[in-house]
């Protein structure tokens, strides 16, 4: 069994792979489907979701990148909202669920490698504000700090159209966003994103951030 796994691991380059890659690696086995079943039963290959798999920790070449996996589980999508805010260091909390936005219907997935959630957005709001980040052998799409914050505000249904001054307390006290990092958000990016949202709430958010950057509330 171990020899088989070593051979399979040699053929499959990445730690996360799909069904086609797995069946290709087993093409020389007489009963590849039975072999796949045994790989699952032994825990050597872990089913993340239907059609998407990873090797067990013992046979991985690198630590799993959950951000990369999030892009693969459900797409089109990119990481945003709370997870992206924590990733960029804007909020102090550790966020366990990898949160993303998508143009498809909202979904949640509880998997052996963690929880993933996807919030539906219209195409125009989705189409702006994502960056490609490279880590090790893989890359993943994640919202810029500006887009992650706008997405968070937009999707927080508890918020009505806060006034410009009310947003200061919400950003600094409720979300506990680091003021220094808030001051580094890009003005042109914020204005471009706000233009796509065409929302009074988002316009007030951007105005508040720009006022904070300029010291208007000092």
Question: Tens of pLDDT along 132-161?
Answer: 999 999 999 999 999 999 999 999 887 777
* Structure confidence at residue 215 (pLDDT): 66
Residues 47 and 79 in one domain: no
Q: Which domain holds residue 22?
A: 2-59
Q: How far apart are CA 217 and CA 208, in angstroms?
A: 9
| Claim to verify: residue 18 and residue 112 sit in the same structural domain | no
Q: Structurally, how many domains does the chain consist of?
A: 2
Residue 2: pLDDT band by 50, 70, 90 thresholds? low
Q: Does one domain contain both 82 and 177?
A: yes
Structural domain ending residue among the three candidates 21, 37, 59: 59
Q: Where are the alpha helices (DSSP H) in 12-144?
A: 19-25, 32-42, 66-73, 81-87, 123-126
User: Rounded CA gap, 162 and 204, in Å?
Assistant: 7
Domain with 37 in it: what CATH number? 1.10.10
Q: To the nearest whole number, what is the mean pLDDT of the chain?
A: 92
Shared domain for 155 and 199, answered yes or no, is yes
Asked which of 43, 59, 75 is the last residue of a domain, the reply is 59
In the prediction, which pLDDT does 218 show?
45
């Amino acid at each position: 069994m171990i020899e088989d796994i070593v051979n399979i691991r040699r053929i499959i380059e990445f730690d996360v792979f799909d069904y086609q890659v797995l069946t290709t690696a087993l093409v020389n086995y007489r009963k590849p489907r039975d072999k796949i079943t045994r790989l699952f039963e032994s825990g050597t290959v872990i089913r993340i979701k239907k059609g998407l798999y990873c090797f067990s920790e013992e046979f991985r070449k690198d630590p799993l990148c959950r951000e990369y996996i999030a892009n693969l589980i459900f797409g089109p999508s990119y990481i945003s909202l709370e997870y992206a805010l924590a990733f960029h260091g804007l909020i102090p909390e550790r966020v366990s669920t990898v949160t993303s936005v998508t143009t498809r219907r909202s979904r949640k997935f509880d998997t052996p490698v963690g929880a993933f959630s996807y919030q539906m957005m219209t195409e125009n709001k989705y189409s702006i504000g994502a960056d490609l980040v490279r880590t090790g052998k893989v890359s993943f799409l994640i919202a810029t700090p500006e887009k992650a914050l706008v997405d968070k505000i937009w999707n927080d249904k508890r918020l009505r159209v806060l006034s410009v001054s009310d947003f200061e307390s919400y950003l600094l006290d409720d979300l506990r966003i680091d003021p220094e990092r808030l001051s580094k958000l890009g003005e042109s990016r914020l204005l471009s994103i706000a233009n796509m949202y065409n929302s009074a709430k988002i316009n007030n958010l951007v105005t508040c951030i720009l006022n904070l950057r300029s010291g208007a509330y000092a």
